[in-house]
Chains A and B, each alone.
Chain A
Amino acid sequence: MIELKNIRKSFGDKEILKDVSANMEPGKTNLIIGASGSGKTVLMKCMVGLIKVDSGTVLYNGQDFTAMDDVEKKPIRQEIGMLFQGSALFDSMTVEQNVMFPLDMFSTMSYKERRKRMQECLDRVELKDANKKFPAEISGGMKKRVGIARAIVLNPKYLFVDEPNSGLDPQTSLIIDKLIKDITVEYNITTVVNTHDMNTVMESGDHIIYMHQGKKQWEGSNEDIIFSEDKLLNDFIFASEFFQDIKEMRKMEIFRDKNWRAKQAGGGNK
């Protein structure tokens, strides 16, 4: 379980995070949504320790991550996998070297076992015939897959994903969203995803936090989000007319079938 307590962060005079408190539900896909500049990425970087908070605490299973020095953070960091917005693959390494890098650095496995594990992860993200290619030679969607494979190669407990759909076409976005969702369930990982893509919100969000101007504005599930009366949240998620239609369709569907929520809960993770 990841707990955020009263996180504050400023850059110069500009306050980016204003007293943010939230819990990331274990074993679920937790989404942080919000407009550009709302503080999502800064919040995520504070959670993984890439940015130091001004005040507040980040707790990983009750351990205060923010109070630890770099050496104390290492064991927790080795339980964290992260997929960056631009994938952050090491461009001097091939796809398989990228995925093997965390294993080479931290695992005590033999070379043969490390290669086997690397291949398992690449197979899991359904990346074929790309082992020997360099990041510059593969597409954006493939880079995301490699990034996911590298993030899960050490069997992390926590997976952080920053803007998984940026720069991807809608079809590839859906595939990546599904992959993240499936991996979360399969590996029983606590996943935190930063996004402003409403498809991701509706398809894969178990627990959603809406950020507005550095504050946590709303928190709930992807079922609740449709019925929320929060004006700022509604302005954000229904900005597109397409989602206005979805809102109406969903409401109609739910009125028609009172057991909708029960059905969703029963079949959501399959």
Chain B
Amino acid sequence: MEFRFFYHFGRYLLMLKGMFSRPENMRMYWKEFMKQCVDIGFGSLGIVVIISLFLGAVTTVQTAYQLVSGFIPKSTIAQVVRDTLILELAPTMVCIVLGGVVGSKIASELGNMRISEQIDAQEIMGINTKAYLIGPKILAAIITIPALVIIAAFLGIFGGLEAGKMSGIISHEQFMQGLRASFDGYNVFFALSKAYTYSFIISSIPAYYGYNVTGGALEIGRASTTAVVVSCVLILFADYALAALLL
């Protein structure tokens, strides 16, 4: 089992190393990078909007449910919602969902290209396929996913604000007062550190599994599932490691 781990880890590192080479044509690489930014960033925007709004709403309702003491001001709910979203829910939950959405897309796209010999066709043309096919995906994920996490944090807080008002738990004024109270900018740095780490995991792990698929359609599906599972486990592991290191 451990040998299998080292085998995959070694190949993964070699794949990453293979990405660094002089681009054959910078314009084509830029075009591919922009395409991936649209696919990964804009393509995931819808799901990010939906889950972050609901995450914020649910956090508000459940925090209010747990704060039973009359001595705790209602604005505390907003503080809890804000910090929970920034520290954990926006980066981790959103990235776990993106691990499924983006990860399976990357793994199946590359897997299909491998099986149908499209990667071989590019290799024969003299293109470094690791640099051309994987590099722009990782770079696009590193640029767009932290942006999505920031959007998710804002929308989550907005969802919490509206849910609090609609359910009669907390007024807009109280919520805004809580949001402004004892805000720590370091939390945003921590959230972004997580987002950058996760975006690298979400893009590079599925790229590894997709790029190295052998077999047929069944193996593409299997690689896609494995990629998503491994990405999610690594996100949770990184979540704990970053919390232990940075907080």
Bound Cα distance A104, B125 (Å): 12
The residue on B at minimum CB distance from A89 is B118
Contact A77 to B125, CB < 8 A, known contacts A71-B21, A106-B24: yes
For residue A227, CB closer than 8 A to chain B, the reply is no
Separation in Å of the B127 CB from the closest CB of chain A?
6
Contacting pair A77 B126 (CB below 8 A): yes
Bound Cα distance A91, B116 (Å): 10
Bound Cα distance A101, B118 (Å): 12
Bound Cα distance A85, B115 (Å): 12
Residue numbers in A under 8 Å from B118 (CB-CB) = 88-91
Contacting pair A104 B25 (CB below 8 A): yes
Residue numbers in B under 8 Å from A105 (CB-CB) = 24-25, 28, 125, 127
The residue on A at minimum CB distance from B109 is A92
Bound Cα distance A104, B117 (Å): 20
The total of chain B residues at the interface (CB under 8 A) is 18
For residue B120, CB closer than 8 A to chain A, the reply is yes
Residue numbers in A under 8 Å from B124 (CB-CB) = 48-50, 77, 80, 82, 160
8 Å CB contact of A73 from B24, B112, B113, B126: B126
Contact A78 to B117, CB < 8 A, known contacts A105-B25, A105-B28: no
Q: With contacts defined as CB atoms under 8 Å apart, how many contacts are there between chain A and chain B in the complex?
A: 56
A61-91: CB near B (< 8 Å → 1, else 0) gives 0000000001101110110101011101111
For residue A102, CB closer than 8 A to chain B, the reply is yes
Bound Cα distance A50, B25 (Å): 22
For residue B128, CB closer than 8 A to chain A, the reply is yes
For residue B38, CB closer than 8 A to chain A, the reply is no
Bound Cα distance A75, B126 (Å): 8
Contacting pair B117 A84 (CB below 8 A): yes
For residue B176, CB closer than 8 A to chain A, the reply is no
Contacting pair B125 A106 (CB below 8 A): yes
Contacting pair A88 B121 (CB below 8 A): yes
Contacting pair A104 B28 (CB below 8 A): yes
Separation in Å of the B94 CB from the closest CB of chain A?
27
Contacting pair A84 B120 (CB below 8 A): yes
Separation in Å of the B216 CB from the closest CB of chain A?
12
Contacting pair A102 B116 (CB below 8 A): no
Q: Chain B interface mostly helix, strand, loop or mixed?
A: helix
Residue numbers in B under 8 Å from A45 (CB-CB) = 120
Separation in Å of the B33 CB from the closest CB of chain A?
15
Contacting pair A88 B120 (CB below 8 A): yes
Contacting pair A106 B25 (CB below 8 A): yes
B115-140: CB near A (< 8 Å → 1, else 0) gives 01110110111111000000000000
Contacting pair B121 A82 (CB below 8 A): yes
Bound Cα distance A91, B169 (Å): 52
A85-123: CB near B (< 8 Å → 1, else 0) gives 110111100000000011011100000000000000000
8 Å CB contact of A88 from B24, B28, B116, B126: B116
B32-54: CB near A (< 8 Å → 1, else 0) gives 00000000000000000000000
Residue numbers in B under 8 Å from A160 (CB-CB) = 124
B123-164: CB near A (< 8 Å → 1, else 0) gives 111111000000000000000000000000000000000000
Q: Among B24, B118, B121, find the residue whose CB has the most chain A CB atoms closer than 10 A.
A: B121
Bound Cα distance A85, B128 (Å): 22
8 Å CB contact of A70 from B25, B121, B128: B128
Bound Cα distance A15, B123 (Å): 25
Residue numbers in B under 8 Å from A90 (CB-CB) = 113, 118, 121
Residue numbers in B under 8 Å from A73 (CB-CB) = 126
The residue on A at minimum CB distance from B120 is A50
The residue on A at minimum CB distance from B25 is A105
Bound Cα distance A260, B113 (Å): 48
B residues 56-106 touching A (CB-CB < 8 Å): none
Residues of B within 8 A of A (CB): 21, 24-25, 27-28, 112-113, 116-118, 120-121, 123-128
Of all A-B residue pairs in the complex, the 5 with the closest CB atoms, nearest first, are A77-B126, A88-B117, A88-B121, A74-B126, A84-B117
| 9 additional contacts (CB under 8 A) given A80-B124, A91-B116 | A49-B123, A49-B124, A75-B126, A77-B123, A78-B125, A84-B120, A105-B25, A105-B28, A160-B124
Interchain residue pairs with CB less than 8 A apart (28): A48-B124, A49-B124, A50-B120, A50-B123, A70-B21, A74-B24, A77-B123, A77-B124, A77-B126, A78-B126, A80-B124, A84-B117, A84-B121, A88-B116, A88-B118, A88-B120, A88-B121, A90-B113, A90-B118, A90-B121, A102-B125, A104-B25, A104-B27, A104-B28, A105-B28, A105-B125, A105-B127, A106-B25
